[in-house]
Structure 1
């Protein structure tokens, strides 16, 4: 299967100062706000660390967690900013609870999602059901 490009977005609540910029959000912009991030072992964080290196700057998060729920709570209740793939906050964006802002640099456009299975391997009924569910219900997988 082909990888699906998943650009990273800045997730903020409506009315946040970054939402009023009228342009893409830069790393320098992020540095001025309360930032919540995933730990370094996650792909999103790896892309962001690479962008930091390219811009010769370091973002220091106020919240570092592997909990997507905690990150979204940080945005909604503490007026924080998180960087993630848009699908991770799709429901909240659709409900108008948060906004997904375009981000710079273009490196942040390079994130990809992969659904990997072994070629020729017959999946168990449970794995087949999971794969069907992912393809039909999970936004990130629908394009595969």
Structure 2
């Protein structure tokens, strides 16, 4: 009886690990189109005084600030988004502030900024690809949790 249960649990774990490998392959396939762009070589440097002034100006621009507020994310996620925005826009991150509505990312694009010819960078995901990436990430996390639960159950059965 115990051997059959152990065999069945081991089969379930193997099946779940196979699903995890499949999810990781699907995630890698979606992630390959999301390549971060390189930072430009001639970044402008801002003094602390400049940063303070740009931060003050940025926070006072209420109608425009709503466009760059990130809701429902942790500070680490917002920081990662800010760094990727800095790389994509070719600007300099001025500040990352917590506001009443979320986090505000303030970027300074530079004195010699010109609007890029293509409005949408090539290395950004489309909505469909972003949704697929999100689903695959959730699926992978759920499978990892499921596998750890199964291994815990098998460990308890082995002790008995």
**TM-score normalized by the length of structure 1:** 0.23
**TM-score normalized by the length of structure 2:** 0.21
Q: RCO higher in 1 or 2 (8 Å CA, sep ≥ 6)?
A: 1
**Higher radius of gyration, 1 or 2:** 2
Higher helix residue share: 2
Higher strand residue share: 1
